[in-house]
Amino acid sequence: MRLIQASWLALGLIHLLPAVALVQPGLVTRLYGVEAGDPLFVLLWHRAALFAGVLAGCVWAASRAEVRPFASALVASSMISFLLIFAAQGMPASLRAIAIGDVVGLPFLAVVTWNAWRPGPPSRP
């Protein structure tokens, strides 16, 4: 189903730039405003590794229906937990672009999650 594949790839695209920071650490500074000497830099660089895993899960799920339940849980835990923490912390302006990206991804997440967990066999690519 093209809608499902496209939705997985859209979710992957949302996670692409933060994942690239794993191999281009300078993006940590550009994305989050944290300089390399700051201890938070290491934490955010590690966050890039986790986003690389989310990205890989999205790409994998776009072509393999059997991994979609796991991948949907992975992506949902990343996006929804960030949005909840963002809201609980008073929606800091410096993180608003990240929150907007996650909000834009929620409809795609809803589509893939419904497809992955609905009764019956999952839709094949």
Query: Cα separation of 45 and 62, whole Å?
Result: 26
Q: Position of tokens 């830099």?
A: 41
Q: CB of 2 within 8 A of CB of 112?
A: no
Q: State mean pLDDT over 100-121.
A: 93
Residue ranges of alpha helices (H) inside 25-67 are 26-32, 39-63
Asked if pLDDT for residue 38 goes beyond 80, the answer is yes
Alpha-carbon dihedral 76, 12, 51, 105, rounded to 10 degrees: -40
Domain positions in the chain? 2-117
pTM recorded for the entire structure: 0.89
What mean pLDDT, rounded, does the chain reach? 94
pLDDT band for 101, please (50, 70, 90 cuts). Answer: very high
Both tokens assigned to 11: 């979710």
